[in-house]
Amino acid sequence: MGKYKHILVAVDLTDEGKQVVARASDIAQPQGSTLSLVHAIEPLSYAYGGDIPMDLTSIQEEIEQQAKLKLAALAATLDIPKERQHIVYGRPEVEIHKLSKKQEVDLVVIGSHGRHGFALLLGSTANAVLHGASCDIRAFRLKSD
Site for ligand AMP in 18-57 (CB under 6 A): 20, 38-40
Rounded Cα distance, 65 and 73, in Å: 13
Contact of 79 with 45, CB cutoff 8 Å = no
Listed ranges 7-15, 26-34, 44-52, 98-106: which one lies at the site for ligand AMP (CB under 6 A): 7-15
Question: Could you tell me which residues come within 8 angstroms of residue 61 by beta carbon, excluding any fewer than 6 positions away?
Answer: none
Q: Quick one: 53 or 102, whose CB is closer to ligand AMP?
A: 102
**Which residue in 79, 98, 120, 123 sits closest to 38, CA to CA?**
98
Binding window for ligand AMP (CB under 6 A); candidates: 23-31, 51-59, 72-80, 109-117? 109-117
Site size for ligand AMP (CB under 6 A): 16
Q: Nearest Cα to 72, choosing from 115, 127, 126, 13? A: 13
Among 11, 24, 71, 80, binds ligand AMP (CB under 6 A): 11
Closest CA to 4 of 38, 29, 22: 29
Candidates 75, 97, 107, 111: give the one binding ligand AMP (CB under 6 A).
Answer: 111
Under the rule (CB under 6 A), what is the footprint of ligand AMP?
10-12, 16, 20, 38-40, 92, 110-113, 124-126
